[in-house]
Structure 1
Amino acid sequence: MNAMTNPLSMFDVKDKVALITGASGAFGMVAARILAGAGCNLVLAAGNQKALDAIAEECRTLGAAVCAVNTRPSDEGACQALVDEAVNTFGQLDILVVASGMNKVAPINDMAPETFESVMDANVTQSWLLARAAAGQMKAQGQGGKIVLVSSARGLLGHPAGYTAYCASKAATDGITKALGCELGPTGITVNAIAPTVFRSPLTAWMFEDTEKAKEVRKGFLARVPKGRLGEPEDLAGPLLFLASKASDFYTGHILYADGGYTAG
Structure 2
Amino acid sequence: MGKLTGKTVVITGGSTGIGLATAKRFVAEGASVYITGRREEELAKAKKDIGGDVTTVRGDIADLADLDRLWAQVKQERGSVDIIVANAGIAEPAPLPVATPEHFDRVFGINARGTFFTVQKALPLLNDGGSIVLIAGVAHQVGWPDFPAYSGSKAAIRSYARSWAAALLDRNIRVNSISPGPIETPILDGLSTPSNDGAAVRAGLAATVPMGRLGEAEEIASSILFLASDDSSYMTGTDLAVDGGSTQL
Give the conservation status (yes or no) of the 8 Å contact 2:188–2:201: no
Q: Which residue of 1 aligns with 2:72?
A: 84
Runs of 4 or more, structure 1, over 6 Å off, are 212-216
Work out the CA distance in 1 between the residues paired with 2:234 and 2:64: 30
Match for residue 44 of structure 1?
35
**Deviation (angstroms), 1:237:** 2.8
Partner of 2:103: 115
CA distance in 2, matches of 1:215, 1:128: 34
Q: Tell me how far apart the structure 2 counterparts of residues 15 and 56 of structure 1 sit (CA, whole Å).
A: 19
Distance change (3 Å), C-alpha of 1:250 and 1:57: same
Q: TM-score, normalised by structure 2?
A: 0.89
In 2, distance between residues paired with 1:98 and 1:216?
29
Deviations 1:36-84 (A, max 9, x none): 1111101111111111011112222xx3x22211111223333233122
Query: How much has 1:18 moved relative to structure 2?
Result: 0.6
Aligned-partner Cα distance in 1 for 2:203–2:88 = 29
Distance 1:53 1:206, change over 3 A: closer
Match of 1:235, as an amino acid?
E
Residue-by-residue CA offset, 1:141-187 (whole Å, 9 max, x unaligned): 4x321111111100111112x20110010011111111111111221
> Given the superposition, is the C-alpha separation of residues 206 and 132 from structure 1 closer, same or farther in structure 2, using an over 3 Å criterion?
closer
Aligned to 2:238: 254
Structure with bigger gyration radius: 1
Output the TM-score relative to the length of structure 1.
Answer: 0.84
**1:1-265 paired onto structure 2 within 5 Å:** 12-60=3-51, 63=52, 65-138=53-126, 141=127, 143-160=128-145, 162-204=146-188, 221-265=205-249
Q: Which has the higher strand share?
A: 2
Q: Please tell me whether the aligned partners of residues 5 and 30 of structure 2 are also in contact (alpha carbons under 8 angstroms).
A: yes
Q: Percent identical across equivalent pairs?
A: 30
Q: Is the 8 A contact 1:135 1:189 kept in 2?
A: no
Name the CA distance, whole Å, in 2 between partners of 1:184 and 1:41: 24
1:100 and 1:35 mapped to 2: Cα distance?
A: 17
**Partners of 1:191 and 1:253 within 8 A in 2:** yes
Return closer, same or farther for 1:110/1:244 CA change in 2, 3 Å cut-off. same
Q: Cα–Cα, structure 1 residues 116 and 239, in superposed 2: closer, same or farther, change >3 Å?
A: same
Distance, in Å, in 2 between the alignment partners of 1:17 and 1:130 is 16
Aligned residue pairs total: 245
User: What SS does structure 2 have at the residue aligned with 1:108?
Assistant: coil
RMSD, matched Cα: 2.3
Question: Which amino acid in structure 2 is aligned with residue 118 of structure 1?
Answer: R
Deviation at 1:216, TM superposition (A): 6.3
Aligned-partner Cα distance in 1 for 2:204–2:48: 38
AA paired with 2:70? L
- Say whether the 8 Å CA contact 2:182–2:206 is kept in structure 1: no
Is residue 25–residue 100 contact of structure 1 (8 Å, CA) maintained in 2? no
- Partner-residue secondary structure (3-state), 1:101: coil
- Alpha-carbon distance in structure 2 between the residues aligned to 1:49 and 1:23: 12
